[in-house]
Amino acid sequence: MVITVYFILFFAIFFSLVIIGLFFYLLTKKIMLRNRAKKMQDFHAKVYPLVIRYITTGYDRPVFLISSSAKWQRQVIKEIAIQIAGVINSEKEIERLNIVIEDFGVVKEVETMLKDKRWWIVSAGVNEATELHLKQFVPIIKQHLYTEEYDLRRSVVRALCEMGESIEVLNYMVIHENELPHKVIVHIGDMLVSTGSDDPTLIDYIVQHFHQVSPELQGVFLEIIGKRKAMNQLPLLTTLLRREEKEIRLKAMRAIGDIGMILEPEAIFDFLFSSSWEERVLAIYVIQSCKLEQAIPELVNHSIQDKNWWVRVRAAETLYAFGEKGRKELKDVADTHEDIFAKDIANKVLQEKHLRGS
Amino acid sequence: MDILFFDIYYLFNLIILYYVLFVDFYYVSLFLLSLKQVKHYMRRTSHKVYKDLNRSHLTPPVSLLIPAYNEEKTIVSNLLSALLVEYPEYEVIVINDGSTDATLEELIESYSLHEVNVPIRYQIPTEEIRGVYRSLQYPQLIVLDKENGGKADALNAGVNASNFPYICSVDADSLLDRDALLKTTQPFIEGEDDIVACGGIIRVANGTTVEDGRVVSVGLPKNPLAIHQVIEYLRSFLMGRLGFSGINSLLIISGAFGIFRKREIIEIGGYDTTTVGEDMEIIIRLQKYLYDKKSKAKVIFLPNPICWTEAPSSLKVLGRQRIRWHQGLFQALWKHKKTMFNPKYKHMGLIAMPYFFLVELIGPTVELVGTILMLVGLYFDIVNVPFAILFILATFVFGMFLSMSAVLLEEMTFRKYTRVRDFFKLMLFSMIESFWYRQLNAIWRTMAFFRIRPNRKARKGAWGGMERKGLSQENT
């Protein structure tokens, strides 16, 4: 019992001290943070118009503001610079922006961040270098492409894509595809599609390496071809519709649909009768985006009463998208079709579209 | 006889003493786990660029499900927050579960709803859907009007009507931050792990300023009961759930805000309409299902995607809510009792389930019994007075430590309450909590046991009665 009493006494004293310590720590931190936020706010209000004026007009370089190299001041300048960098385009403005951030030591700070040992600091540095268009750091950023840390690798890929180095990323994928997990390949592909710059050599690189890479990577390549609407690759896409791997056929169909043009419509019509519902849905997608009105009879007589819900919906939506003719057919389906599911789906699409006024 | 009584009394006290030490050990462990998780989360998100998700082709379309029952006062304004979230592709499905007030009429009037003929796939059995409405103003809004069947049944109807592979349950009285959906789906898209469900933090909206369905400034409420709930929510989410998420044993994602992969929800049969704590029950069932399948998929919690909810500001409503929550907890644990201490379910069976049973379920009652015994002992002069005082003091000090730790986690991370005055208030209420609020909760939770019938189904169509003031009302 005595031991328990002492234990509880120790317990109470220990946690009391922790509470007191915690209270003062939190209070001090709170006050410091508030003061810092206030200083930053004031500095922001003072600097913002001056920086904007200099960057847009070139007058009054705001060097006189650099009284010290306090971190919080750099932080404010960095925030303003990132904000401005997102909306300026001209070479002159970018050059002046670089002068400002150089003056305030922001460039040096980003460089230090990129060389840090902690991956999350490097990752933040990579993002800032990207936002501020600091292309001089591309070589350092490239080195981090081989990091173990998944999140950092994502930041680096994004940065390289944004900075016009998509080829470097593609090259990395081609060389290391066997070591890269599926999810990483998918994500890199997504970034190449959504954030890549309009580098014309990208498609050439893809075509050149297409047959050397795995079907998984070919899928990524096809997505890029589609999203970039590389019309000159339609012959390649058409031949891929006959490939054995279903995934490749699906990706090729999606790419054709994304481009919105087709060389052999009959090849697509065949997929309306495929045993795979994904192929049937994508065939309808191609029919709609390439405006293949000659497929209306197949859509009405076959696809709209498909056993798969998604096929039925897409068929009805496609019919509606075909203007007067398609809408009339869809209305007939809604009124007279013998299949109750076809009628239901036709009604649903007609009502929804009517409601939208589209 | 006296000696026997004294021995039993002594033994009982000793059990309670060791129980308290055991519970405190659990809490300290949870706090340390949460601390580690928070640091890890802040590192991972400090450099995240969420706008990328908005244009990524991998961002999955999501169906927001908002079950509503007699929400005529708040539904129109609160729905706006769901309709204005930043997300590339989503739909909002409001399920009017046979409201007896003008909820449906308010929605029809305010959002220009028109009845449409939409075939519903009944993948999970539910009460009959009377009508489906779509809005002229918001193409992403769908309203289902159905027969009353309870919140779980309403959610199941929403799952059936949803068009997208992910569903997100949101309470009708809650407000989502603009980027809440993007932040919550981020681990589904970018994460290395396979995620099947993800919950975000629920914060108390009382005291905030709301404009156009959006929280524009954060402050503490004036109502003391609501302030206690602010601390309680911080402790529950930033300490409890974050800690359990770290060891992949999360057993609850709040019904107010959570995203699920629809495939798994349908595979496990949807929400259980026979319990009152459907949000906890479905997570336990989901985790059990994943363990049984030997799946590596995870259920996680993120501390930053924020959903704001109106907390009860009267004792009557709060008491009702707590009794209901405790009944739900009991039902969920009872239903899945076979997972308790079962090594097959690893951390879930050996740590999380015992925690919810020993700490969350019986803890308040043990605390109450302990206090009563202590008073009895003092009255009969059979207790060591210095020891009793010391023990009570230690318990209070530890309670304060836990509440202040939650404030610490908040201050280390998101610092939503920026005013120094609010900080002092939080600290003060962390201290006084142990003197009345804890005991009150213990009484309500103990009362819940007297209303529980483990094998009896929940009353059909039951909804927790919460009298809404409306968020903007509270703040004025």
Does A352 score more than 90 pLDDT?
A: no
pLDDT band (50, 70, 90) for residue A149: confident
Contacts of B16 in chain A (CB under 8 A): none
Closest Cβ opposite residue A351 in set B58, B117, B391:
B117
Tell me the residues of chain A between 1 and 20 that have a Cβ less than 8 Å away from chain B. Answer: 1, 4-5, 8-9, 11-12, 15-16, 18-19
The Cα B354–Cα B339 span in angstroms is: 10
Does A214 score more than 80 pLDDT?
A: yes
Residues with Cβ within 8 Å of A331's Cβ and at least 6 positions away in sequence, in order, are A346, A350
Could you tell me if residue B254 is left (phi over 0), alpha (psi between -120 and 50 degrees) or otherwise beta? Answer: beta
Residue B474: the pLDDT is 46
The Cα B90–Cα B95 span in angstroms is: 16
Residue B461: the pLDDT is 60
Mean pLDDT of A336-343: 89
The Cα B201–Cα A2 span in angstroms is: 44
CA angle at A88 for the pair A84 and A93, rounded to the nearest 5°: 95
Q: B117 and A151 in contact by Cβ < 8 A?
A: no
pLDDT band (50, 70, 90) for residue A147: confident
Contacts of A150 in chain B (CB under 8 A): 192
Q: Identify how many contiguous H helices and E strands chain B contains and give both numbers.
A: 17, 12
Residue B473: the pLDDT is 46
Q: A347 and B391 in contact by Cβ < 8 A?
A: no
Quick check: is A101 in a domain?
no
Q: A19 and B57 in contact by Cβ < 8 A?
A: no
Tell me the residues of chain A between 16 and 75 that have a Cβ less than 8 Å away from chain B. Answer: 16, 18-19, 22-23, 26-27, 29-31, 33-34, 37
Residue A58: the pLDDT is 81
Q: A123 and B47 in contact by Cβ < 8 A?
A: yes
Residue A129: the pLDDT is 93
Name the residue among B92, B130, B85 with its Cα closest to residue B111. B92
Q: What is the ipTM of this complex?
A: 0.75
Tens-place pLDDT, residues A200-209: 788 888 999 9
Quick check: is A209 in a domain?
yes
Quick check: is A201 in a domain?
yes
What are the backbone dihedrals phi and psi of residue B26, each rounded to the nearest 5 degrees, phi first?
-60, -45
Domain count, chain A: 1
Query: And the tokens for B434?
Result: 């142990």
End-to-end CA distance of chain B: 62
Tens-place pLDDT, residues A94-139: 888 888 888 888 899 999 999 999 999 999 999 999 989 898 999 9
Residues with Cβ within 8 Å of B461's Cβ and at least 6 positions away in sequence, in order, are B97, B98, B148, B149, B150, B153
Q: A26 and B408 in contact by Cβ < 8 A?
A: yes
Tens-place pLDDT, residues B182-202: 999 988 887 767 899 999 999
Tell me the residues of chain A between 182 and 241 that have a Cβ less than 8 Å away from chain B. Answer: 183, 186-187, 190-191, 193-195, 223
Compare B202 and B305 and report the one with higher pLDDT.
Answer: B202
What is the β-pairing status of strands B174-176 and B257-261?
A: unpaired
CB A161 within 8 A of CB A192: yes
Mean pLDDT of B118-136: 91
Q: How far is B456 from chain A (nearest CA, A)?
A: 38
The Cα A142–Cα A137 span in angstroms is: 9
Contact of B190 with chain A, judged by CB distance below 8 Å, is answered with yes
Tens-place pLDDT, residues B343-376: 999 999 999 999 999 999 999 999 898 888 888 8
What are the backbone dihedrals phi and psi of residue B15, each rounded to the nearest 5 degrees, phi first?
-60, -45
Contact of A353 with chain B, judged by CB distance below 8 Å, is answered with no
Q: A194 and B423 in contact by Cβ < 8 A?
A: no
Tens-place pLDDT, residues B110-124: 998 988 888 888 999
E strands within B329-439? none
Best residue in B13, B15, B47 to probe A by mutation, most A CBs within 10 Å? Answer: B47
List C-alpha distances in Å: B143 to A170, A228, A317, B123, B333.
46, 38, 21, 19, 33
CATH number for region B53-316: 3.90.550.10
Number of alpha carbons in the 13 Å side-chain half-sphere of residue B451: 17
Contacts of A186 in chain B (CB under 8 A): 58
The Cα A40–Cα B67 span in angstroms is: 44
Residue A317: the pLDDT is 94
Tens-place pLDDT, residues A30-62: 899 999 999 999 999 988 888 888 888 887 776
Residues with Cβ within 8 Å of A278's Cβ and at least 6 positions away in sequence, in order, are A246, A250
The Cα B442–Cα B439 span in angstroms is: 5
What is the DSSP secondary-structure string of A293-346?
Answer: GGGHHHHHHTGGG-SSHHHHHHHHHHHHHTHHHHHHHHHHHHHH-S-HHHHHHH
What is the β-pairing status of strands B195-204 and B298-309?
A: parallel
Q: Where are the alpha helices (DSSP H) in B269-384?
A: 278-292, 315-335, 346-347, 353-355, 363-379
Contacts of A126 in chain B (CB under 8 A): 47
Tell me the residues of chain A between 102 and 161 that have a Cβ less than 8 Å away from chain B. Answer: 120, 123-124, 126-127, 150-151, 154-155, 158
Contact of B86 with chain A, judged by CB distance below 8 Å, is answered with no
The Cα B228–Cα B31 span in angstroms is: 19
Domain range for residue A173?
A: 166-263
- At position B441, the amino acid (one-letter code) is N
Quick check: is A2 in a domain?
no
**What percent of chain B clears pLDDT 90, i.e. is strictly above it?**
59
Quick check: is A185 in a domain?
yes
Mean pLDDT for all residues in chain B = 89
List C-alpha distances in Å: B88 to A255, B59, B65, B85, B113.
21, 8, 17, 9, 23
Best residue in B117, B142, B391 to probe A by mutation, most A CBs within 10 Å? Answer: B117
Closest Cβ opposite residue B411 in set A11, A26, A352:
A26
Residue B301: the pLDDT is 93
Contacts of B119 in chain A (CB under 8 A): 341, 344-345, 348
Residues with Cβ within 8 Å of B442's Cβ and at least 6 positions away in sequence, in order, are B364, B365, B367, B368
Closest Cβ opposite residue B390 in set A12, A37, A194:
A12
Query: And the tokens for B398?
Result: 């530890």
CB A161 within 8 A of CB A196: yes
Tens-place pLDDT, residues A160-201: 988 888 888 999 889 988 888 777 888 888 888 876 566 778
Quick check: is A41 in a domain?
no
Tens-place pLDDT, residues B2-47: 778 778 878 887 888 888 888 988 899 999 999 999 988 888 887 6
Compare B453 and B71 and report the one with higher pLDDT.
Answer: B71
pLDDT band (50, 70, 90) for residue B475: very low
pLDDT band (50, 70, 90) for residue A300: very high
Q: How far is A16 from chain B (nearest CA, A)?
A: 6
Name the residue among B321, B319, B251, B312 with its Cα closest to residue B280. B251
Residue A69: the pLDDT is 67
Q: How far is A337 from chain B (nearest CA, A)?
A: 16
Residue A355: the pLDDT is 65
Query: And the tokens for B16?
Result: 């309670």
Query: And the tokens for A156?
Result: 């680096």
Q: A127 and B49 in contact by Cβ < 8 A?
A: yes
Does A68 score more than 70 pLDDT?
A: no
Contact of B390 with chain A, judged by CB distance below 8 Å, is answered with yes
- Tell me which range, B49-53, B325-329, B454-458, is most confidently predicted by mean pLDDT: B325-329
Portions of chain B given CATH number 3.90.550.10: 53-316
What is the DSSP secondary-structure string of A261-275?
Answer: --S-HHHHHHHTT-S
Residue B468: the pLDDT is 58
Mean pLDDT check: name the lowest of A5-19, A153-167, A182-196, B220-234.
Answer: A182-196
